[in-house]
């Protein structure tokens, strides 16, 4: 149904959509008035608040931004943009300083120096933490306090953005609806729009991400014609706590760093047969090792009893609380685990100032693809990228001229929310056919299922954003006929040196592949 927005709000110039770390930090860095729009109440509905590890920054005496950049490139499996890796590594110290000034209580030693932790694939101790595993919660709490105390930041909660507003080819804000009422769209008009809309984990059946992370930002931008980058690269966290909760709580990698072991229900340490580094192998290798055990019908557990034991509650309070809530005492019990969709390396393609290919639109945080992560993100680099690019976007939009609000074209919005069955089918399809192990038949089946769901639910803009993002992920995965980083093709298990480059793709290009795949064959493993 086509409706003219009942309400037009003027952002006063700059509009930030999404209030995780990237959005809050950009708002605080801006000097001019800004409107900050969030679907959930401030501080909730954001992956940022759930981060357990911390932020990577080369602050140790034996470390340097160059070493950090090299580790970032090595983790990214050949397709990290070296310039961007050096940019985030070299701006890390200044951004940590900013966060400390905003009140983030980073862990410090007796000499007031940052306590630096170590995580997989980092060659040095360089993770700044807060109270063990509470980094995300404490960083977000400090920033929410700072935003609430800053009068030039106007916060609008409970509005879900569903479509970009365009005026003569330029982004002029977003259309949004209230959470419970999709029938009265609101246009929030802006001269500069910054997307900080988070990731895509919720497009998969098992995920560590909050329900708001369903690829809405990438989908909206792609539907408006934005160039996207590396959408096929999704990182699966090896050890979500498998207790049937959606989203699945995370058992941080640091547990394995402290010596916790992975065992199956025959009490075998199966990872020793998979990789020389066993439990500390790269994230994607461990995730696939667990996936294969589960697929073979075995259960997988994290055994922290000997390595962490009695120190668990103090060392890992968040994970301890998750376990206890499920009746598991990790000091004496095994923790059941399974891989879960966790982080999107791909996103809206941006340059080093966070500009997208659409005039008037910037993108920061997980919804953007800067080239920093390549095919696999180095642990704790995503919060870093969020603050580095949040600050850069804030500087870049500063010189925009405010123009008076103009009439804009009406938007299309459905009367009903997308069917729960359509979303469940989409998530199941993504996990089964576009997950940890992919092949051409499964990907073509997924593409056909996504297209069918999109056609059936064509009226609903939220579903259209999800299916647009799913189409980009599945299509780019089909086109990448090799295995690299987070993308594993069982029909092409080796890396192809010819394909050691980033993917750049628009939704229109993806749809051409989609049509070809649909014509090529009927779904082999369509889930409904």
Binding footprint of ligand FAD on the chain (CB under 6 A): 17-23, 37-40, 45-48, 50-55, 135-136, 160-161, 196-198, 208-209, 212-213, 216, 250, 343, 365-366, 380-383, 386
What distance in Å separates the CA atoms of residue 397 and residue 33, rounded to the nearest whole number?
12
Taking only Cα atoms into account, the Rg of the chain, rounded to an integer number of angstroms, comes to 22
Residue number with CB closer to ligand FAD (486 or 523)? 486
**Spatial CA neighbour of 385 closest among 70, 69, 92:** 92
Burial 21-50 (b: 16+ CB within 10 A, else e): bbbbbbbbbbeeebbbbbbbebbebbbbbb
Q: Any idea which residue has 């980058």 for tokens?
A: 229
Task: Evaluate whether 341 touches 201 at the Cβ level (below 8 Å).
Answer: yes
Residue number with CB closer to ligand FAD (217 or 523)? 217
Strand order in the sheet with 170-178: 7-10, 181-189, 170-178, 159-167
What distance in Å separates the CA atoms of residue 237 and residue 253, rounded to the nearest whole number?
9
Residue number with CB closer to ligand FAD (22 or 153)? 22
Spell out where 208-356 has E strands: 228-229, 234-241, 261-264, 300-303, 335-344, 347-349
Residue number with CB closer to ligand FAD (364 or 422)? 364
For 475, list phi and psi in degrees, rounded to 5: -70, -45
Which residue of the set 223, 283, 288, 438 is catalytic? Answer: 283
Residue number with CB closer to ligand FAD (5 or 198)? 198
**Spatial CA neighbour of 472 closest among 345, 358, 360:** 345
Give the shortest CB-513-to-ligand FAD separation in angstroms: 26
Burial 282-308 (b: 16+ CB within 10 A, else e): bbbbbbbbbbebbeeeeebbbbbbebb
Burial class (CB in 10 A: 0-12, 13-18, 19+), 149: exposed
Residue number with CB closer to ligand FAD (133 or 279)? 133
Residues 6+ apart with CB under 8 A from 504: 227, 228, 229, 349
Q: Any idea which residue has 């301890």 for tokens?
A: 320
129 among known catalytic residues: no
Residue number with CB closer to ligand FAD (37 or 79)? 37
| Residues carrying an active site annotation | 283
């Amino acid at each position: 149904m086509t409706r003219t927005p009942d309400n037009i709000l003027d952002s006063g110039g700059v509009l930030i959509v999404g209030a995780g770390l990237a959005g809050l930090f950009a708002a605080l860095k801006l000097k001019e008035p800004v409107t900050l729009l969030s679907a959930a109440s401030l501080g909730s509905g954001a992956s940022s608040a759930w981060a357990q590890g911390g932020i990577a920054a080369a602050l140790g005496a034996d470390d340097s931004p160059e070493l950090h950049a090299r580790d970032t490139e090595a983790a990214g499996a050949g397709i990290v943009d070296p310039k961007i890796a050096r940019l985030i590594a070299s701006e890390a110290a200044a951004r940590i300083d900013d966060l400390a000034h905003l009140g983030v209580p980073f862990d410090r030693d007796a000499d007031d120096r940052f306590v630096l932790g170590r995580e997989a694939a980092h060659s040095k101790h360089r993770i700044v933490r807060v109270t063990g595993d509470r980094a995300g919660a404490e960083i977000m709490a400090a920033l929410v306090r700072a935003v609430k105390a800053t009068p030039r930041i106007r916060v609008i909660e409970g509005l879900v953005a569903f479509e970009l507003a365009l005026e003569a080819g330029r982004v002029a804000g977003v259309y949004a609806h209230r959470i419970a009422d999709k029938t009265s769209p609101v246009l929030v008009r802006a001269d500069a729009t910054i997307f900080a809309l988070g990731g895509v984990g919720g497009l998969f059946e098992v995920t560590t991400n909050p329900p708001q992370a369903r690829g809405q930002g990438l989908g909206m931008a792609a539907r408006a014609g934005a160039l996207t980058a590396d959408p096929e690269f999704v990182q699966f966290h090896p050890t979500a706590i498998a207790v049937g909760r959606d989203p699945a709580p995370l058992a941080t990698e640091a547990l394995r760093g402290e010596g916790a072991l992975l065992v199956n229900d025959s009490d075998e340490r199966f990872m020793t047969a998979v990789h020389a580094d066993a439990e500390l192998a790269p994230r994607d290798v461990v995730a696939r090792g667990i996936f294969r055990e589960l697929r073979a019908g075995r259960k997988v557990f994290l055994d922290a009893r000997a390595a962490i034991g009695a120190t668990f509650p103090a060392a890992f309070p968040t994970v301890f609380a998750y376990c206890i809530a499920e009746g598991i005492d990790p000091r004496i019990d095994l923790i059941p685990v399974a891989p879960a969709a966790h982080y999107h390396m791909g996103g809206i393609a941006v340059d080093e100032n966070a500009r997208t290919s659409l005039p008037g639109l910037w993108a920061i945080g997980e919804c953007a693809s800067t080239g920093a992560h390549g095919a696999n993100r180095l642990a704790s680099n995503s919060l870093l990228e969020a603050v580095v690019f949040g600050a850069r976007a804030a500087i870049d939009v500063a010189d925009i001229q405010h123009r008076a609000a103009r009439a804009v074209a009406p938007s299309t919005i459905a009367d009903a929310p997308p069917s729960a069955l359509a979303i469940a089918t989409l998530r199941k399809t993504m996990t089964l056919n576009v997950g940890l192990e992919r092949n051409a038949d499964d990907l073509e089946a997924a593409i056909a299922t996504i297209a069918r769901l999109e056609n059936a639910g064509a009226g609903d803009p939220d579903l259209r954003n999800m299916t647009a993002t799913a189409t980009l992920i599945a299509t780019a995965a089909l086109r990448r006929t090799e295995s690299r980083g987070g993308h594993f093709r069982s029909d092409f298990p080796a890396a192809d040196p010819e394909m050691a480059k980033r993917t750049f793709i628009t939704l229109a290009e993806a749809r051409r592949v989609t049509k070809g795949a649909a014509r090529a064959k009927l779904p082999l493993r369509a889930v409904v």
